[in-house]
Amino acid sequence: MAKISPFAALRPEPALAAAVAAPPYDVLNSAEAAEQAKGNPHSFLRVTKSEIDLPGIADIHTAEVYEKAKSNLKELIGNGTLLREAKPCYYIYELVMGGRHQTGLVAASSVDDYENDIIKKHEFTRPEKEQDRINHIRTSGAQTGNVFLAYRDVDEINQLIEDWKQRTPLYDFEAADGIHHRIWTVDDDNTIARISALFSEKVPYTYIADGHHRAASAAKVRKSLEAGYHDHANYFLTTLFPAGQLHIMDYNRLVKDLNGMGEADFLRALYNDFEVERMSAAFSPTRLHEFGLYLGGEWYKLTAKEGTYTEDPIGVLDVTILQNNVLDKLLGIKDPRTDKRIDFVGGIRGLGELEKRVNSGEMKAAFSLHPVSIQQLFDIADSGNVMPPKSTWFEPKLRDGLLTHLIYE
C-alpha cells in the first residue's frame, strides 16, 4: 500500500507566489527560461535553470551551474521570498485550464515504495537526464521538481479534499498562460493522520504519470547518502491525482525525411497496413487506431487495418502501431529515443505547430495521434511493461517553486 508523508515545505511568501512560480525545468530551454525570468528576481527559474544567471556558459551541466542554483536558492530564502513551513503539512493543489479543474494532493512519497514497485513506472529513463537531477539535488539540498503521480479514485479521499477546498486558499492566482493555480495548506493534525491512513489502507499502488527522471534521481540520491543521510531523503516531492481528475493529451510526431522515398511512394506503402483517406482540413484522430498525416501540404486520415497490430497492452497502443508499421518499417527509425530524424510535439501546441514545421521545410511529414488513456497507462504499468518514449502529455503542468522539499540544509 502507498506510504505518503506530510512535509514542511519551502514555499513563497503569499504575495510573491505568482512571481516565484515557474514552469517545470524540462519544458523550457535556457533562452526561453532567461526570457521568462527577465526582470523578475523572484522567479524560481533562477534555481531550476540557474544557467540563466551565468551568461555565456557553454555547458549547463557543470558544477558551476549547480552551485549557482544553490546560492540562488539561499538568496531567495535569505531575502524572505521563500519561507519554511512551521510543521509538516499536506497541501492541496488545484489547477484550472480552459474551465477544467484538476486537484491533487502534494505529499512526500516513499523512496522505498519507488524501489519496491508500489510506485509503478511506464517509461525508461536516460542516465544523462538522471545525472543532471542528481547533481541538482545533491548540490542544492532540495527536490525542486514535482513528480506527478496518479492513483485509482477513492471516494473518501476525494470527499476529504473537496471538503478542505471550502476553506480560504494559501495561494490563488492566474499565471501568464491563463492557467489558474490554487493551493491550500492541510495543517490540522487529525486530518493529516486521516489522509496518511486512507492512502495506506485504500491505495495499493500509485503510478508515475510525469517525472520518471525526477523520481529515479531522488532514489539514487538517497542511496548515495546512505552513510549518514537525513531522514528527509527517504521521501521525494510528489503530487497525487485521482484518475478521474486527469486529462492526457496527444503526443505527436514529426520526421525529417521519408527514408529515400518520394511522397507518392510513401503514401502507396502506407496502404499495406492502413486505410488512407485525404482530408479537407487538419485532422485530429477521434478514436483509437486513427492517425493524422500531414504531408506535402495535405492532411490524410490513416486507419490501422485489423491484424496489423497485437492486442497486448503495449501492442495495442497507437504509439506502438505508428512506431512498428510506419516509423520503423517504412522510415527506418528504429529507436525514437536516440534517432535525430524524429521529433515530438505535445498536443498543447495544436496541429498548427505540426503544419508550421513541415511547411517551413524543417520537417518532411507530421503524424497526429489519439491520446493514450489513463486506463492504458495503468494496464501497462501493472503488466510490468514500458511505453514507447513520448507517449503521454499531461496538461496543465504543475509549477515549480510553490512547494519545495528540502532533504538537508
**Neighbouring residues of 212: CB distance < 8 A, sequence distance ≥ 6:** 121, 123, 124, 125
pLDDT over threshold 80, residue 46:
yes
| Digit-coded pLDDT (tens) for 114-137 | 999 999 988 777 788 889 999 999
pLDDT of amino acid 232? 85
Contact 88, 10 (CB under 8 A): no
Find the mean pLDDT for residues 233-256.
92
Spans of all domains in the chain: 4-248+395-406, 251-370
Closest CA to 153 of 115, 208, 103: 103
Q: Helix crossing, 127-140 with 63-78: angle to 10°?
A: 40
Cell numbers representing residue 187 in the block: 495543517
Cell numbers representing residue 375 in the block: 486506463
pLDDT of amino acid 228? 56
Q: Which residue has the higher pLDDT, 43 or 313?
A: 43
pLDDT of amino acid 226? 62
Find the mean pLDDT for residues 370-395.
84
Question: How far apart (Å, rounded) are the C-alpha atoms in residues 62 and 132?
Answer: 9
pLDDT of amino acid 409? 66
pLDDT of amino acid 19? 97
Q: Kindly report the CATH number that applies to the domain delimited by 251-370.
A: 3.30.1760
Q: What is the percentage of the chain residues whose pLDDT exceeds 90?
A: 73
Find the mean pLDDT for residues 61-75.
95
Name the average pLDDT for the chain. Answer: 92
**Neighbouring residues of 16: CB distance < 8 A, sequence distance ≥ 6:** 42, 81
| Digit-coded pLDDT (tens) for 255-286 | 999 999 999 999 999 999 999 999 999 999 99
Question: How far apart (Å, rounded) are the C-alpha atoms in residues 233 and 134?
Answer: 12
| Digit-coded pLDDT (tens) for 85-110 | 999 999 999 999 988 899 999 999 99
pLDDT of amino acid 250? 86
